Chains A and B, each alone.
Chain A
Amino acid sequence: MNDHIVSSYDQELRTLAGKIAEMGGLAEGLVADSITSLTRLDTVLAQKVIATDVRLDRLQRDIEERAIVIIATRQPMAMDLREIIGALRISNDLERVGDLAKNIAKRVVGLEGGFTAKKLVIGVEHLAEIALEQLKNVLDSFTSRDDSVAMDVRRRDDEIDALYTSLFRELLTYMMEDPRNISFCTHLLFCAKNIERIGDHATNIAETVHYVVTGEQLTEDRPKGDTSNLISVDLDS
């Protein structure tokens, strides 16, 4: 990313990469905090997540503006161009990750004083652990320009999808057992879906890293493990 004849160009690219790293750290923190606030039903932490998401939005706009200025003034080519397009795409994904974390936090606020059943939350927590690891790995792969790590992240996404599907079944069972669980379980189900989406954004970023490093766009379909769309319940049984 360095050694341009014009050193201020290097500086601009470094700043852009730095902003992505900052967004990545912030997004990881937001997801982790939103899950903690969920498992502890900590509304103060949840409020903090909601407030912090604004920073992520601001960073995303900042990155977008900087990328546009670099394109307009430097006419980037080859790997520089891919780098900038990559930054644009990744900042979009991270902004969405922040929104999903914020949505989880909002549900915690909504759940205040609600029924807490630790065993219901454990599954969601486990799902979040994998998603967070995916997010961390993929951000590392961007920093180190390591395509193989990025491709591992992409392959691992079906694990999250499969876990989400089993969680979906589990929550349905609880709801059928006792209608008083419905409200809480529905919120949890949305949280789980949000986490599953965060995993999808991690795979998007993995595909972007692959593009930045190799110049090739991935075309083949990636493995899909989410089959919750096929699940139905028979209320008469």
Chain B
Amino acid sequence: MDIMVDDMSGLTVERKPKVVARDVNVHYGEKHALKGVSIDIPEKSVTAFIGPSGCGKSTFLRCINRMNDTIASCRVDGTISIDTQNIYDPVLDVVQLRARVGMVFQKPNPFPKSIYENVAYGPRIHGMARNKQDVDEIVATSLQKAGLFEEVKDRLDDSGTSLSGGQQQRLCIARAIAVGPEVILMDEPCSALDPIATARIEELIDELRSNFTIIIVTHSMQQAARVSQKTAFFHLGILVEEGPTDHIFTKPRDKRTQDYITGRFG
């Protein structure tokens, strides 16, 4: 259970853990990439993973929707559960899991299809819509939630790749939202965007957190400080320190965290 201060009301609220990881170890062949990570990710809030390149933060993020399954040499031990259900349970349907845990990548990667089809694809293959009308509605609400609808409503048949970088990223977020996920993973979602498009995405993340549990990996510490309520610092495959974001950035307990966020080692 995480105790957090709500920015709006200033009241402390208790957030139940949505994702619970216990003693997670990841090996890529011989390489021990993640060493005994245990963390609770609180629901309906933004948790940021920070750390230097190769520290294991993206590896851990990819464990949460089992994307590491696609890498043959990768072995994951320990447990990760979402709402107390172990996602590494052999009977679990991975496709269903990935509908519950959406992902947004570093570079916007819309399908080379129309804006409409980009969003409609997921709900269709998951059988979430019975007819055209249902699909239309999901597309519209998803684009609205992603803050893109007003900009594209008159050209839904244009190619997704014809949009600007920031719009493409919001389209990818709309695509992730369309299948009704509970958790959204974001792997450096703004690193390919200009500051204005970045600010839009950050604003969007702030809005989305009232409905989704968001986990974001970012190299920008300012971004982590701005958008997240909880921050976890990884270094050399170890989860060094986790805690409320304002604590991590003003009075971290661990010297390694201090050195990293103040720019003393890379």
Of the candidates B259, B264, B266, the one having the most CB atoms from chain A within 10 angstroms of its own CB is B264
CA distance A80 to B257 in the complex (A): 13
- With A75-B222, A77-B221, A78-B258 as contacts: A3 and B264 at CB distance below 8 Å: yes
Which 7 A/B pairs are nearest by Cβ-Cβ distance?
A: A215-B251, A77-B261, A80-B262, A3-B264, A77-B262, A4-B263, A78-B258
- Residue A5 at the B interface, CB < 8 A? yes
CB distance from B231 to the nearest CB of A (A): 11
Mask, A149-193, CB within 8 Å of B = 1, is 000000000000000000000000000000000000000000000
A contact residues around B222 at 8 Å (CB): 75
Asked if residues B261 and A78 are in contact (CB atoms below 8 Å), the reply is yes
- Residue B252 at the A interface, CB < 8 A? yes
A contact residues around B225 at 8 Å (CB): 77
By secondary structure, the B interface counts as helix
A contact residues around B261 at 8 Å (CB): 77-78
CB distance from B127 to the nearest CB of A (A): 47
CB distance from A230 to the nearest CB of B (A): 37
CB distance from A18 to the nearest CB of B (A): 20
| Residue from the list A6, A82, A215, A216 in contact with B263, Cβ < 8 A | A6
B contact residues around A79 at 8 Å (CB): 258, 262
- Residue B121 at the A interface, CB < 8 A? no
CA distance A6 to B264 in the complex (A): 8
Asked if residues B251 and A5 are in contact (CB atoms below 8 Å), the reply is no
CB distance from B199 to the nearest CB of A (A): 16
B contact residues around A9 at 8 Å (CB): 263
| Residue from the list A4, A6, A74, A77 in contact with B249, Cβ < 8 A | A77
A contact residues around B263 at 8 Å (CB): 4-6, 9, 74, 77
A contact residues around B265 at 8 Å (CB): 5
A contact residues around B258 at 8 Å (CB): 78-79
Mask, A120-134, CB within 8 Å of B = 1, is 000000000000000
CB distance from A187 to the nearest CB of B (A): 45
CB distance from A103 to the nearest CB of B (A): 36
From A5, which residue of chain B is reached at the shortest CB distance? B263
A-B contact pairs, 20 of them (CB 8 A): A3-B264, A4-B263, A4-B264, A5-B264, A5-B265, A5-B266, A74-B263, A75-B221, A77-B221, A77-B249, A77-B250, A77-B263, A78-B252, A78-B258, A78-B262, A79-B258, A80-B262, A81-B249, A81-B250, A82-B250
CB distance from A207 to the nearest CB of B (A): 16
A-B contact count (CB 8 A): 41
CA distance A9 to B265 in the complex (A): 14
B contact residues around A4 at 8 Å (CB): 262-264
From B259, which residue of chain A is reached at the shortest CB distance? A3
Mask, A64-100, CB within 8 Å of B = 1, is 0000000000111111111000000000000000000
A contact residues around B259 at 8 Å (CB): 3
A contact residues around B221 at 8 Å (CB): 75, 77
The residues in B between 75 and 89 inclusive whose CB is less than 8 angstroms from any CB of A are none
B contact residues around A3 at 8 Å (CB): 259, 264
CA distance A6 to B263 in the complex (A): 8
Asked if residues A78 and B264 are in contact (CB atoms below 8 Å), the reply is no
CA distance A4 to B249 in the complex (A): 16
CB distance from B194 to the nearest CB of A (A): 18
CA distance A5 to B266 in the complex (A): 8
CA distance A28 to B259 in the complex (A): 35
CB distance from A101 to the nearest CB of B (A): 34
Asked if residues B251 and A78 are in contact (CB atoms below 8 Å), the reply is yes
The residues in B between 223 and 266 inclusive whose CB is less than 8 angstroms from any CB of A are 225, 249-252, 257-259, 261-266
A contact residues around B250 at 8 Å (CB): 77-78, 81-82, 215
The residues in B between 183 and 198 inclusive whose CB is less than 8 angstroms from any CB of A are none
CB distance from A136 to the nearest CB of B (A): 28
From A80, which residue of chain B is reached at the shortest CB distance? B262
From B252, which residue of chain A is reached at the shortest CB distance? A78
From A215, which residue of chain B is reached at the shortest CB distance? B251
From B265, which residue of chain A is reached at the shortest CB distance? A5
B contact residues around A82 at 8 Å (CB): 250-251
CB distance from B165 to the nearest CB of A (A): 24
Given contacts A4-B262, A78-B258, list 17 more A-B pairs with CB under 8 A. Answer: A5-B263, A5-B264, A5-B266, A75-B221, A76-B262, A77-B261, A77-B263, A78-B249, A78-B250, A78-B257, A78-B261, A78-B262, A79-B258, A82-B250, A82-B251, A214-B251, A215-B251
B contact residues around A215 at 8 Å (CB): 250-251
B contact residues around A77 at 8 Å (CB): 221, 225, 249-250, 261-263
